[in-house]
Amino acid sequence: MKICIYGAGSIGCYLGGRLVAAGVNVDFIVRPKIQHQLQQYGLTVSDYLGQTYAIPASQLQLSSESSLATQADIIFVCVKSASTEQVAHELKEILKKNTIIISFQNGLSNVGILKQVLSEHTILEGMVPFNVAALGNGVFHQGTDGVLYVKKHAGLNELVIAFNSAQLELKLEDDMQAIQWAKLLLNLNNSVNALSQLPLKQQLSIRAYRQCLAMAQIEALALLKIAKIKPAQLTALPAQFVPFVLKLPNSIFNLLSKKMLAIDPLARSSMADDLMAGRATEIDWINGEVVRLATQLNLKAPINQKLIELIKQSEITPKAWSANALSDQLEGVNKAEFK
């Protein structure tokens, strides 16, 4: 089995690195900047449990050309969501018809885009639950825990074995919509974390920031209930109870959420990384998914819409929001909505 990582950024390099360390045949399609970094330093993947795997550059199959994907049996699409359509057209020109494509991307819209362009191929939803930080010099660090999910398909048995050999659990799931919405509810914290400019663990230790996340989640959960979509349970608590735990005082929250706070001090959201690097964020594929659902229901999602506006402002002029200032902004939206 040959796997190709198409768009090897933080997630792609981490998943590919773990698989290569386990002896799996992996090709990496990377941006020239990442290619040069990996050629110079090799690839090192580490995690919050203290495990580290170092792969020398000589063992990495790297290219910036899409043609590297031609011989792949399975392709992981790991590009930013804004690039999905472009990648789909690039793949359409080169792929053999029996290639399986798995979208390990944020949001819920990417598989639909891939299927529209690559109508003759098998396109499957995937979900990466954990945070990966790019630490520089070819080092990619998993800062939180979680189980990988992919849409159930008969052609994935060898892939499951490969992930098991890499000590990464991969589950095959029929209802990926429920899984994706559950992940997206957790990812609503990406915008709060990016606006805070703090590491994830520190940000979640501050009650007012957690209340901001809770407001965004409560709004999304109300819309999901109207749409009759039940998110899967990815954490110790069902999704509908998480906002109420988030709003608890620190003393109680810390007792009830030890697993939730089992976060490496190095961990930060990918959206925070994008803002720090001056890149466009994926806010339209995270909080934007909630706004799109609201629009489909002829309703509004003012909390998530406000977070989108604040992130887009920060893309132009970066600003660190204090917990109380951000909470006041979102509370103000709530009050205006119910006048």
Domain boundary among 141, 174, 207: 174
The pLDDT assigned to 53 comes to 97
**Residue 225 shares a structural domain with residue 279:** yes
Residues 180 and 230: beta-carbon distance below 8 Å: no
Same domain for 130 and 271? no
C-beta separation of 285 from 109 below 8 A:
yes
> Which of 143, 174, 205 is where one domain is finished?
174
Token code pair at residue 35? 């290619």
What is the average per-residue pLDDT within 248-256? 87
Chain segment 280-326, per-residue pLDDT in tens? 999 999 999 999 999 999 999 999 999 999 999 999 998 999 999 99
The answer to whether the CB of 166 falls within 8 A of the CB of 24 is yes
pLDDT of residue 261: 60
* Dihedral in degrees, nearest 10, Cα atoms 63, 64, 70, 73: 70
Are residue 29 and residue 161 in the same domain, yes or no? yes
Q: Which amino acid is at 335?
A: K
What is the average pLDDT score of the chain?
Answer: 92
pLDDT digits 0-9 by tens, 102-125: 999 999 999 999 999 999 899 999
Q: Where are the beta strands (DSSP E) in 143-276?
A: 148-151, 170-173
| Same domain? 21 vs 105 | yes
**Residue 18: which pLDDT band, with cuts at 50, 70 and 90?**
very high
d(CA 143, CA 200): 9
Burial of 290 (0-12, 13-18, 19+ CB in 10 A): buried
* 58 and 164 together in one domain: yes
- Taking the C-alpha atoms of residue 189 and residue 214, their distance in angstroms, rounded to an integer, is 9
Q: Name the residue among 189, 175, 142 with its Cα closest to residue 45.
A: 142
Same domain, residue pair 283 and 163: no
Task: State the average pLDDT over residues 191-211.
Answer: 94
What confidence score (pLDDT) does residue 111 get?
A: 96
Q: Provide the pLDDT confidence category of residue 271 given band limits of 50, 70 and 90.
A: very high
**Do residue 182 and residue 153 come from a single domain?**
no
263: tokens are 């976060």
| Predicted local confidence at residue 260, as pLDDT | 62
> Which residue range is the domain that position 89 belongs to?
3-174
Split into its structural domains, the chain has a count of 2
Q: Which of 144, 174, 204 is the last residue of a domain?
A: 174
- Indicate the SS3 state at residue 74: strand
Mean predicted confidence (pLDDT) in 259-268: 72
What is the rounded CA–CA span in Å between residue 171 and residue 177? Answer: 14
Same domain, yes or no: 161 and 223: no
DSSP character at residue 230? -
- Over its C-alpha atoms, the chain yields an Rg (Å, rounded) of 20
Nearest one of 316, 331, 327 to 192, comparing CA atoms: 327
CATH classification of the domain holding 181: 1.10.1040.10
Q: Which helix (H) or strand (E) holds 52?
A: strand 52-55
For residue 321, what are the contacts with CB-CB under 8 A and spacing of at least 6?
Answer: 195, 196, 197, 310, 329
CB neighbours of 135 closer than 8 A, spacing ≥ 6?
A: 141, 266
Rounded CA-CA distance 302/290 in Å is 10
- Residue carrying the six token digits 């790297």: 62
Give the single-character DSSP code of 47: E
Q: Please say if the pLDDT value at position 162 is more than 80.
A: yes
What the block records as the tokens of 46 is 């580490």
Q: What's the pLDDT tens digit per position in 180-199?
A: 999 999 999 999 999 999 99
pLDDT at 337 over 80: no
User: Distance between alpha carbon 21 and the CA centroid of its chain, in Å?
Assistant: 22
- CA 314 – CA 292 distance, rounded (Å): 22
